Amino acid sequence: MGKIVWLASYPKSGNTWVRAFLHNYILQPESPHSINRLVEFSVAECAAAFFHEPGESLTTAQVQALRPAVHEKLTHLHDDLVFVKTHNANLAVEDVPLCTPEHSAGAVYIVRDPRDVALSYAAYTGRGVDEIIELMANPRAANASDSAQVFELLSSWSQHAISWVAAPKRLLVRYEDLVAAPERGFARIIRFLGTGEVEAARLQRAIEFSNFKTLAAQEAESGYNAGSKNEKFFRAGKAGQWREQLTPAQARRIEEAHGEVMGKFGYGLS
């Protein structure tokens, strides 16, 4: 059994929120853990530094040839479990898994209503909502390599979700449930990780230290290294904004592309 716990999600689905909570729960800082120091405890698998080359200098085949060794090295970052963020679908490229099974201890998969994802992802990237809706339906969609990271295969929103739901030893967490009942949702994560009994006061403190208001205030004061140049990273932190901000035609396009999988997660159609 491996040591990596994948913190997996489609982009803009709550991954950073979960990472911030885990940092505050496990490390128990006296004040909210800095959003710009999340890499001290959890790392992004796609970081080019782990591949020892700028991402754009490596071909897809070269990245995939290196990935298993990179994942093996990640297991040595900490003595216990190693938390690794990924936006990769749980698929293979060049016959090499994007998330190496033998180094995996399990996964926390955060899923969010794709209609809200489309809004948040469009704001984050500075691209139009219609363009993002098209991207989310593309099984070949990927985050391109650049100087800071190697490529990530997102695939379509539906395929991304299906690929992770099929993973062994995984916990499915809905973003909307974390918003509605954070104590219950985050306690499920702690129990899944097997780090001991959930301590109520510790849990509540970690939730407060990682709530949207706190994270947004940190970004306003110090910026966020992994944020966007187009808009604040911590934009709204709400569920169901698509009802007011998507046009009926946009909502219908998302539902036509992903309605079957949305239904599996309890996302009703408009």
Can you tell me whether residue 240 is helix, strand or coil?
coil
Residues 111-148: tens digit of each pLDDT: 999 999 999 999 989 999 999 999 999 999 999 999 99
Domain at 4-264: CATH code: 3.40.50.300
Longest Cα separation, the chain: 51
Which position has the higher pLDDT, 35 or 21? 21
Q: For residue 36, name the pLDDT band (cuts at 50, 70, 90).
A: confident
Residues 58-111: tens digit of each pLDDT: 999 999 999 999 999 999 999 889 999 999 999 999 999 999 999 999 999 999
H-helix or E-strand spanning residue 92:
strand 92-93
Dihedral (C-alpha) 64, 85, 102, 109: value to the nearest 10 degrees?
-120
Q: What pairs with residue 152 in β-bridges? A: 143
Confidence at residue 172, expressed as pLDDT on a 0 to 100 scale:
98
User: How far apart are the C-alpha atoms of 69 and 156, rounded to whole Å?
Assistant: 27
Residues 186-228: tens digit of each pLDDT: 999 999 998 778 999 999 999 999 988 888 777 776 666 654 4
Domain locations in the chain as residue ranges = 4-264
The residue length of the chain stands at: 270
Confidence at residue 215, expressed as pLDDT on a 0 to 100 scale:
80
